[in-house]
C-alpha cells in the first residue's frame, strides 16, 4: 500500500506543478497535498484533462485537528477514466477557516460545503448558500458552537 512519496502517480500528472506532497490513504487512494488556494485550480486542471463526464466530485470531508490548530479539508474525486479516487487535501487555520468555494466548478460540492460550514465553521468563499442553523438547534448556532469541533462540548 505504501508508495515512494516522491513518485507522482499517473492520475495526478495534470496537477503536478501544484502538488506539495503525495501520500496514499488506504485502500489505494492517492492523496495530493495542496495549498488552500490551489484546490479550485487543481480541480479545474483535472476536469480539463479527464473531461466533464470523466470524473465526478464525490465527498467533502472536513476534520477538526484541534491539537495542530488546523482544519483539514479533503475533496474526494472519483476519476472514472483511471478508475481511481483522488483526494485533494488541504489545511486551513482553525481560528479563521476560509477557502474558495468549489461550487462554480462542481455543483456537487454544495451539500458538502454547506455541511462543513454548519458543523465546523469552514467558510467557503463564493458559496451563497451557506447558512447557520441548518440543523443545529438555534440556541447552539446563536452561541457560535460548531458541533463537530472537538471542543464544542455538544
Partner 1 sequence: MTEEVSKVDKVVEIPMTVEIPVGPQHPAVHEPILIKVYAEGEYVVKAEAYTGYNHRGIEKLAEKKTFYQDIFLCGRVCGICNAVHADCYVRALEHILNKEPPPRAKYLRTLVMELERLHSHMLILAVTAEIVGFDTLFMHMMRDRELIMKAKEIVTGNRVLADYIMVGGVRRDLNSEKMDKLKKILTKVEPRIRYYWRVFEEDVTLNKRLVEVGRLTPAQVTSHGLLGPVARASGVATDSRYHDAYDAYAEVPFRIVTRKEGDCMARSLVRFEEMQVSLEICRYILNHLPEGEAVPDERRLPRRFPEGEAFTTVEAPRGELTYYVMSKGGVNPYRVKIRTPSYNNIINTVPFYVGHMVADVPAILASYDPCISCMERVTVIDLRRGTRKKVSVRDLARGEA
12 near partner 1, rule: CB under 8 A: no
19 near partner 1, rule: CB under 8 A: no
Instruction: Give me 128's grid cell.
Output: 451563497
111 near partner 1, rule: CB under 8 A: yes
104 near partner 1, rule: CB under 8 A: no
Query: Is there a contact between 154 and 145 (Cβ–Cβ < 8 Å)?
Result: yes
Smaller CB distance to partner 1: residue 17 or 42?
42
Which letter does DSSP use for residue 146 in this model? -
CA distances from 152 to 26, 63, 119, 146, 147 (A): 29, 13, 10, 6, 5
Query: Is there a contact between 33 and 72 (Cβ–Cβ < 8 Å)?
Result: no
The CA distance from 126 to 62, in Å, is 18
154 near partner 1, rule: CB under 8 A: yes
Q: Mask: binding to partner 1, 41-80, rule CB under 8 A, as x and -?
A: -----------xxxxxxxx-x-xx---------x-x-x-x
In terms of Cα–Cα distance, which of 31, 35, 36, 38 is closest to 12?
A: 31
24 near partner 1, rule: CB under 8 A: no
> Residue 94 CB, nearest distance to partner 1 (Å)?
14
**What is the contact surface with partner 1 in residues (CB under 8 A)?**
25-27, 29, 52-59, 61, 63-64, 74, 76, 78, 80, 83, 85, 87, 106-112, 114-115, 118-119, 128-129, 131, 134-135, 147-148, 154
Amino acid at each position: 500500500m505504501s508508495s515512494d512519496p516522491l513518485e507522482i502517480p499517473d492520475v495526478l500528472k495534470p496537477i503536478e506543478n501544484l502538488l506539495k506532497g503525495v501520500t496514499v490513504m488506504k485502500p489505494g487512494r492517492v492523496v495530493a497535498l495542496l495549498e488552500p488556494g490551489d484546490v479550485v485550480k487543481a480541480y479545474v486542471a483535472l476536469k480539463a484533462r479527464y473531461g466533464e463526464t470523466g470524473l465526478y466530485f464525490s465527498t467533502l470531508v472536513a476534520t477538526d485537528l484541534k491539537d495542530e490548530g488546523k482544519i483539514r479539508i479533503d475533496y474526494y474525486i472519483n476519476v472514472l477514466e483511471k478508475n481511481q479516487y483522488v483526494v485533494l487535501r488541504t489545511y486551513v487555520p482553525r481560528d479563521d477557516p476560509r477557502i474558495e468555494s468549489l461550487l462554480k466548478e462542481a455543483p456537487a460540492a454544495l451539500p458538502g460545503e454547506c455541511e462543513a460550514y454548519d458543523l465546523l465553521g469552514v467558510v467557503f468563499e463564493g458559496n451563497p448558500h451557506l447558512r447557520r442553523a441548518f440543523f443545529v438547534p438555534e440556541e447552539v448556532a446563536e452561541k457560535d458552537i460548531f458541533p463537530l469541533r472537538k471542543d464544542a462540548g455538544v
